[in-house]
C-alpha cells in the first residue's frame, strides 16, 4: 500500500479543520490550505481552542497538544502541497468549485499521490475523471464533528485501483476511525438514510405533528439520539443539507429527497443553521432558542 506521511487538506472550514486535527493527532504531517489568511487563521484557531480544551480537561498533555499543532502547517499557496502523499479536499459542496480546485492542484502535486474528496453526496467519479489520476482517487467521507464521530466512509469510484482504495481504508483506520467501504452512489450509506430522516422531520413539523422542540426532544428521549433531527439539520448546516437534497433528488427523483418548502424558505432567508447563528434555532444568545420566524 502507498506509504502516507504528509497529508494535504484543502479547506479549513467546518469539516476541513476537523480532518486536519484528526490527521495530525494520528501523527501525520498536515498542510492545511485556505483561500486567504483570515479564513485560514479562523480554522487553525478552532483547532488550537480544541487542543487547549483537551489539555484543560486532562485528556491530553501540553506536550502532545503542542506536537499536534506543530505538525499542522497552514498555507494559502497550492505549491506547498507538492510533496504530499495524500490530498483530501473539504471545500464547498459545489462540483464546479471542486473541479476548478482539482485542475489547479493536479499539476502541482507529485503524480504518485492519492487524491480524496470529502464530498457528502456528489459522485466521486465526476471529480476523479477531471484529474490525471482517476485510479488514485477515492472518497473519504468524514462526519461532523470529525474529531468525535467514529466513522469514515471510504468510497470506491469505478476507476479506483485496489491499492488506492486499500490505502484509504488503512489511512482512516490509522486515524482511529471505523473505515466503512461504500460504493460511489449519491449519499453513500449514511446520508442516503440520514437526509430523508431530517427532511421527514421538517415535513412532520410542517404538518403540525409537533413543534420544533417537541420533535427534537421526542427523538432524543424516544430513540436515544444525541440530537433531535431539526437541531441536527442546523448542526450539519441547512445550506449543506439543501445541496445534498438537490444531488439526491437529481439522482433518484424520489419525493423523500426533495427540499421541503420550509427548508427552501429558510435558505432564501439566509438561515444556514449553527454556522451563521440562525436556523430552526437562534444561536445568538447563551443557549439556543427556537427561531420564532420558522
Ligand atoms: N469539535 C471537537 N470536539 C467536539 C465538538 C467539536 N465541534 N463538539 C463536541 N466535541 C467533543 C467535546 O469536546 C466532548 O469531548 P470530551 O468527551 O473529550 O470531553 C465530546 O465531544 C462531547 O461533547 P459535549 O459534551 O460538549 O456535547 P454532547 O455530549 O452533546 O456531544 C456531539 C456533542 C458529539 C456533537 C453530539 O451531540 C452528537 O454526536 N451529535 C450528533 C452528530 C452527528 O450526527 N453528526 C453527523 C452529522 S451528518 C454528517 O456530518 C455528514 C455530512 O455529510 C452532512
Per-residue confidence band for 267, with pLDDT thresholds at 50, 70 and 90: very high
- Give me the pLDDT at residue 2, please: 81
Backbone angles phi, psi at 116, to 5 degrees: -140, 145
Q: What is the pLDDT of residue 1?
A: 74
Percentage of the chain lying above the pLDDT 90 cut:
98
103-144: pLDDT as tens digits: 999 999 999 999 999 999 899 999 999 999 999 999 999 999
Cβ–ligand 1 contact at 240 (below 6 Å): yes
269 lines ligand 1 (CB under 6 A): no
Which run of H or E residues covers position 137? strand 137-142
Q: Is the CB of 52 under 6 A from ligand 1?
A: no
Q: Which three cell numbers mark 225? A: 439520539
Report the predicted TM-score, pTM, of the whole model to 2 decimal places.
0.96
Is the shortest distance between the CB of 137 and ligand 1 below 6 Å?
A: no
Ligand 1 nearest atom to the CA of residue 143, by list position: 50
Tell me, yes or no, if 120 is annotated catalytic: yes
| Ordered domains of the chain (ranges, CATH) | 6-183 (3.40.50.720), 192-289 (1.10.1040.10)
Flag whether pLDDT at 7 surpasses 90.
yes
What distance in angstroms lies between residue 146's CA and the mean position of ligand 1's atoms? 8
Alpha carbon dihedral 237, 126, 23, 162, in 10-degree steps, equals: 140
Determine how β-strand 178-183 pairs with β-strand 289-290.
Answer: unpaired
Q: Using alpha carbons only, how large is the chain's radius of gyration in Å?
A: 19
Rounded Cα–Cα distance for residues 31 and 58 (Å): 27
Q: What is the pLDDT of residues 196-223, one digit of tens each?
A: 999 999 999 999 999 999 999 999 999 9
Instruction: For 8, list phi and psi in degrees, rounded to 5.
Output: -95, 135
Amino acid at each position: 500500500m502507498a506509504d502516507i506521511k504528509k497529508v494535504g487538506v484543502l479547506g479549513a472550514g467546518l469539516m476541513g479543520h476537523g480532518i486536519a486535527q484528526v490527521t495530525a493527532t494520528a501523527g501525520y504531517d498536515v498542510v492545511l490550505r485556505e483561500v486567504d489568511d483570515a479564513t485560514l487563521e479562523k480554522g487553525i484557531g478552532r483547532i488550537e481552542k480544541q487542543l487547549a480544551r483537551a489539555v484543560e480537561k486532562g485528556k491530553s498533555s501540553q506536550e502532545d497538544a503542542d506536537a499536534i499543532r506543530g505538525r499542522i502547517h497552514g498555507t494559502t499557496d497550492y505549491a506547498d502541497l507538492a510533496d504530499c502523499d495524500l490530498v483530501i479536499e473539504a471545500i464547498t459542496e459545489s462540483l464546479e468549485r471542486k473541479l476548478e480546485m482539482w485542475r489547479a492542484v493536479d499539476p502541482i502535486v507529485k503524480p504518485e499521490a492519492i487524491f480524496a474528496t470529502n464530498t457528502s453526496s456528489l459522485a466521486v467519479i465526476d471529480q476523479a475523471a477531471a484529474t490525471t489520476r482517476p485510479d488514485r482517487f477515492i472518497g473519504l467521507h468524514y462526519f461532523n464533528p470529525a474529531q468525535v464521530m467514529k466513522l469514515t466512509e471510504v468510497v470506491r469510484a469505478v476507476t479506483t485501483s485496489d491499492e488506492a482504495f486499500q490505502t484509504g481504508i488503512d489511512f482512516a483506520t490509522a486515524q482511529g476511525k471505523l473505515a466503512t467501504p461504500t460504493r460511489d452512489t449519491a449519499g453513500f450509506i449514511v446520508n442516503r438514510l440520514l437526509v430523508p430522516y431530517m427532511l421527514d422531520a421538517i415535513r412532520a413539523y410542517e404538518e403540525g405533528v409537533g413543534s420544533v422542540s417537541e420533535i427534537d426532544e421526542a427523538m432524543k428521549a424516544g430513540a436515544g439520539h444525541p440530537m433531535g433531527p431539526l437541531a441536527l439539520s442546523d448542526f450539519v448546516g441547512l445550506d449543506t443539507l439543501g445541496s445534498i437534497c438537490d444531488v439526491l433528488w437529481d439522482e433518484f427523483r424520489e419525493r423523500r429527497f426533495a427540499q421541503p418548502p420550509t427548508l427552501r424558505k429558510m435558505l432564501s432567508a439566509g438561515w444556514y443553521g449553527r454556522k451563521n447563528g440562525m436556523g430552526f434555532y437562534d444561536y445568538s444568545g447563551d443557549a439556543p432558542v427556537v427561531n420564532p420566524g420558522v
